[in-house]
């Protein structure tokens, strides 16, 4: 990338203080999403007393930071001045991809326009051209991007547990910040207000705080691994994978929406007791616990039809166990949702290998578009 280094690093200053916004939750009760509250930011350090360039310390983190920070923006949602209004506004992060700014849907919320500030302190008004609550992603159009913004790229490589990763953004309103960690986990499922899980998410131990939402999680090659989603404390943060974002964002830019594939089943894990109760040779796959009426799976897959007791505990019996989709093994629910989200589309017919009454067989399901849901 090798962008010429900038020799001035200054703080962005928000115009005024305001109240906070509601945070998106992680898990059932703990953690917060990372769209931050609007707040007054302190003045910036324009350099050291002896005039040294703060980037001249060198090292891989400084190099990556210098290469991509000009594409990271502060996203400001302007709220109401009325203290009794429930729209206080807020801030988050974003980054430039394909001449648009990518961020989280929970950062922009219902806003049609947002204010964007770049590292050189230039402001732009952005138009929210598409949001997707299922993946918590949003795309923002900008008429006249500053010259410093070259745009970042989503990686085509799968994240690897243990690889180093950097988070860039505006935690707690502190602009142009960098934190460092590793990829701690992959194929995580994150909650969304739609009731469907966000699949294929990345876990990191890089510090993630309110205000980081929508910023990039990047590799040491400067490629975007994911879009920062939330921090759950205890050095646990999450990002929406580049693989999912690279499917959703182009559709949001082009059409304003994204169509997710839908099978219409609920599943549960297959542990040793479930395997024993259902005469399975081994504990693998996912058990179909529910089939939604009139869904693509209705009449094709069979849900559980009862339960038995093993060591005094009720264990479901009778449902199909999905062990593969096409050539992809399905060891658990997280892998099922990832394969559907990243490798299939509405209208596509997928071949499933299921275990039914102890015997393997093949079934075909033609996927549909995920139905609309009422958001809270």
d(CA 262, CA 260): 6
Pairing of strands 368-369, 198-204: unpaired
* Gap between the Cα atoms of 109 and 89, Å rounded: 10
The whole-angstrom separation of Cα 245 and Cα 226 is 7
Best CA proximity match to 176, nearest among 220, 117, 218: 117
- Say how many C-beta atoms besides its own lie within 10 A of residue 223's C-beta: 17
Is there a catalytic annotation at residue 345? no
What DSSP string runs through 226-285? EEEEEEEETTEEEEEEHHHHHHHHHHHHHHS----EE--EEEEE--HHHHHHTT-SSS-S
Alpha helices of the chain — where are they, by DSSP H? 60-68, 105-108, 242-255, 272-277, 333-343
Give the residue carrying structure tokens 């701690």: 184
> How many angstroms separate the Cα of 49 from the Cα of each of 29, 54, 55, 61?
46, 11, 15, 23
Catalytic hit among 136, 175, 187, 320: 136
CA 350/CA 341 separation, integer angstroms: 13
Q: Active site includes 213?
A: yes
Catalytic residue among 100, 106, 134, 260: 106
Catalytic-residue membership of 100: no
Which are the catalytic amino acids?
A: 106, 136, 213
């Amino acid at each position: 990338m090798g962008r010429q280094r900038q020799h001035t690093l200054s703080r962005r200053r928000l115009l005024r203080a305001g109240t906070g916004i509601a945070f998106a939750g992680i898990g059932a009760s703990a953690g917060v999403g990372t769209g931050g509250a609007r707040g007054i930011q302190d003045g910036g350090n324009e350099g050291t007393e002896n005039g040294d360039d703060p980037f001249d310390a060198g090292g891989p983190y400084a190099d990556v930071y210098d290469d991509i920070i000009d594409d990271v923006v502060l996203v400001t949602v302007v709220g109401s001045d009325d203290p009794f209004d429930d729209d206080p506004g807020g801030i988050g992060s974003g980054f430039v991809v394909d001449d648009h700014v990518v961020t989280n849907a929970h950062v922009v919320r219902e806003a049609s326009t947002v204010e964007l500030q770049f590292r050189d302190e230039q402001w732009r008004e952005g138009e929210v051209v598409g949001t997707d609550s299922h993946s918590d992603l949003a795309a923002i159009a900008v008429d006249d991007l500053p010259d410093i913004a070259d745009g970042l790229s989503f990686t085509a490589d799968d994240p690897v547990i243990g690889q180093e990763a950097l988070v860039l953004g505006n935690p707690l309103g502190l602009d142009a910040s960098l934190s460092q960690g590793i990829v701690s986990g992959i194929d995580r499922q994150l909650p969304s207000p739609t009731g469907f899980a966000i699949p294929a998410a990345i876990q990191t131990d890089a510090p993630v705080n309110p205000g980081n939402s929508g910023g990039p999680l990047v590799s040491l090659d400067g490629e975007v691994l994911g879009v920062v989603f939330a921090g759950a404390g205890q050095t646990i943060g999450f990002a929406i994978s580049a693989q999912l974002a690279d499917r959703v964002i182009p559709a949001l830019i082009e059409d304003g929406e994204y169509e997710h594939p839908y099978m219409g089943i609920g599943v549960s894990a297959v542990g040793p007791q479930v395997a024993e109760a259902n005469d399975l040779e081994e504990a693998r796959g996912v058990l179909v616990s529910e089939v939604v009426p009139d869904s693509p799976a209705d009449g094709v897959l069979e849900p559980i039809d009862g339960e038995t007791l093993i060591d005094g505990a009720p264990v479901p019996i009778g449902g199909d166990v999905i062990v593969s989709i096409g050539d992809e093994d399905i060891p658990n629910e997280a892998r099922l949702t990832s394969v559907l989200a990243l490798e299939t589309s509405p209208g596509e017919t997928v071949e499933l290998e299921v275990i039914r009454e102890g015997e393997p067989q093949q079934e075909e399901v033609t996927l549909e578009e995920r139905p609309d849901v009422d958001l809270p």
